[in-house]
Structure 1
Amino acid sequence: MTRIAVLGSTNMDLVAYVKTAPRRGETVTGHDFRTIPGGKGANQAVAAARAGADVALIGAVGTDEFGVRLRAALDGSGVDTDLVRTTEGPSGTAHIVVDADGGNAIVVIPGANASVTHLGPGDEALIAGAESLLLQLELPMDTVVEGAKAARRHGVRTVLTPSPVQPLPPELLAATDLLVANEHEAAALTGIDDPKAASRALLELVPEVVVTLGARGSLYAARGQDPVAVPAPEVTAVDTTGAGDTFVGALAVALGEGRAMPQALAWASDAAALSVQRPGAVAAMPYRKEIDAAAAEGTAR
């Protein structure tokens, strides 16, 4: 079983479902509201665990009721939470509006995530024992850089999701093996709207890049290789929250199991396609048998 470490955030997602998202200064009436465990770190950890990996998360929750629920959700999905700290104060929250097309807008309040300002006792040893380290940008940047450098020292593959998108320090890029960005993040990082051209620009910074294109699939680029486009299954999206994290978690599992990149991307796309057909982030993430079944049928319906 492949071993994956995740250094990242935990948030409680406060999700409002509406027909049309409000514009600035506008009030709309929603039709449903849910509190759902999430956060990019927790999302990727759960996605990888449900996809069949042995997963441990490094992060923090608060002393509020959300913290209790977040830890329980991680434990219930088989994620090792021994190195998830409990810090005084509120847990992180994400305030999400989901429209009738499954699109979303998100405001993240860091809460306990902001307390993870450095690696703690046991964190580097956990990273050293993994095959891959998954990183995102909802923790303080210095901590993300510290984790990436630790992975590099021990020969562990680093997979970086540059979200929420922001300038990436050279020392983080130097310790990144695979960058997985959606097309909007790729454009923000490079100033280039075309995903193929943006991926080429990103290859000047890191050796491998995946640009996810939503319903259009994904694009893989690596130095010295021709780019590879992988289509996504055609499905009707209910909620796209967490789909990118589902994709990354499943991709890390597939690569850890030795699959070639095109096959790994297709399997990850099946996982993400399953997730968007259900509401929520963690709650929507598929299990291994579901992904395998979708892959065997060539569809995530």
Structure 2
Amino acid sequence: MTIDCSLTVVGSINADITATTSRLPAAGETVGGGRLSRSPGGKGANQAAAAARLGAKTRMIGAVGPDSDGQAMLEALRAAGVNTDDIAEATAETGTALIVVDAHGENQIAVCEGANASASLAGIEFGADEAVLTQLEIRLDLIVELAHRVPGFLTVNAAPARPLPSEVVDRADLIIVNEYEYFQLPQLQTAQLVAVTYGAKGSALLQRGEQIAFAEALEATPVSAVGAGDAYCAALTIGLTSGIETERALRAANAVGAAAVEVASAQPEFDMFETYLSALD
């Protein structure tokens, strides 16, 4: 089948500064021998880049600073095929994520929001046939505003985990979390549809707290999990809004996440979404 999906991502845009080490440091510990890299990131930008590379017509709403990092982040999104017309330039510096990744792909992340605090929906219009995907690396009042203004399908990736206003939980067509985040947010047991990821075990769809679909994970050799969850969010939103059956959409999203975890970049290249669907047959 041919995927025809228009997706707007409202969220964070960060410069990722990553140290790759043999293991993650404990509290107060220094681990030497690391390798340093700088790359495009931010949960919002990662999701937008993944969606565009998977074949969705994608635009990004957010903010970057007037610095060289901001220009680099915009260029990376454009290279992925994302429409950046609605990304504002703030006076604050571009958001930054400080990341440590170990030899097994596990990570620790500290985020400095910078320009992301200036993201705004002023002057933005949303179409009824347009899916919207957001995350919690931007101000919560923007998420609430989306809940009131988006007429079409609304996906909320509730990460990093923090309590959501009831109006957001009630409005969201889909909320995506990992197993830890689901445990941290018991309010999601009443949400109309929640996707929970379980890492190497797979992912499930829950309706009002009851599991309605499950798909096992695909085998992968992990390099970094930094962008895998974001790619999964983009893929599952594309799948469900394209009318794909729930378990099949889960399986395709798992496949996209598995492809992402094998790449060090938070914004890796992907095949078209149809390719992952075809591989399931």
TM-score, normalization: structure 1? 0.88
Instruction: Report how far residue 120 of structure 1 moved.
Output: 1.5
Over residues 146-170 of structure 1, what are the superposed CA-to-partner deviations in whole Å (9 max), with x where a residue is unaligned?
022111xx2x111111111111111
Q: Is the 8 A contact 1:271 1:285 kept in 2?
A: no
Matched residues in 2 for 1:104 and 1:3: separation? 31
Structure 2 counterparts to residues 70-81 of structure 1, below 5 A: 70-81=73-84
Shift of 1:229: 1.4
Say which of 66, 78, 83 aligns to 1:63.
66
Contact 1:218 1:230 (8 Å CA) reproduced:
yes
**In the alignment, which of 224, 227, 249 is matched to residue 212 of structure 2?**
227
Which is worse superposed, 170-179 or 15-24?
Answer: 170-179
| Alignment correspondent of 1:256 | 241
**Range moving further from structure 2, 232-241 or 217-226:** 217-226
RMSD (CA atoms) = 1.8
Give the SS at the match of 2:61: strand
- Once superposed, which parts of structure 1, at least 4 consecutive aligned residues long, lie more than 3 Å away? 223-226, 291-299
Q: State how 1:111-130 maps to structure 2 within 5 Å.
A: 111-116=114-119, 118-121=120-123, 123=124, 125=125, 127-128=126-127, 130=129
Unpaired stretches in structure 2, ≥5 consecutive residues? none
Aligned partner of residue 30 in structure 1, secondary structure? coil
Helix, strand or coil at the partner of 1:268? helix
The residue aligned with 2:199 is 214
- My pick for the range that moved more, 62-71 or 247-256, is 247-256
| Identity within the alignment, % | 38
Does the alignment pair 1:52 with 2:55? Answer: yes
Note if contact 1:7-1:147 (Cα within 8 Å) is conserved in structure 2: no
Count of equivalent residues: 278
Using the alignment, how far apart are the partners of 1:224 and 1:250 within structure 2?
22
Gaps of 5+ in 1: 191-200
Determine whether 1:188 maps to 2:188: no
**Residue identity matched to 2:199:** G
CA distance change for structure 1 residues 185 and 285 in 2, over 3 Å: closer, same or farther? farther
SS of the equivalent of 2:38 reads: strand
Q: Residue type of the partner of 1:208?
A: L
Match of 1:243 in 2: 228
In the alignment, the residues of structure 2 paired with residue 277 and residue 71 of structure 1 have an alpha-carbon distance, to the nearest angstrom, of 24
User: Cα distance 1:18–1:255, how it changes in 2: closer, same or farther (>3 A)?
Assistant: same
Distance 2:146 2:58 in 1: 16
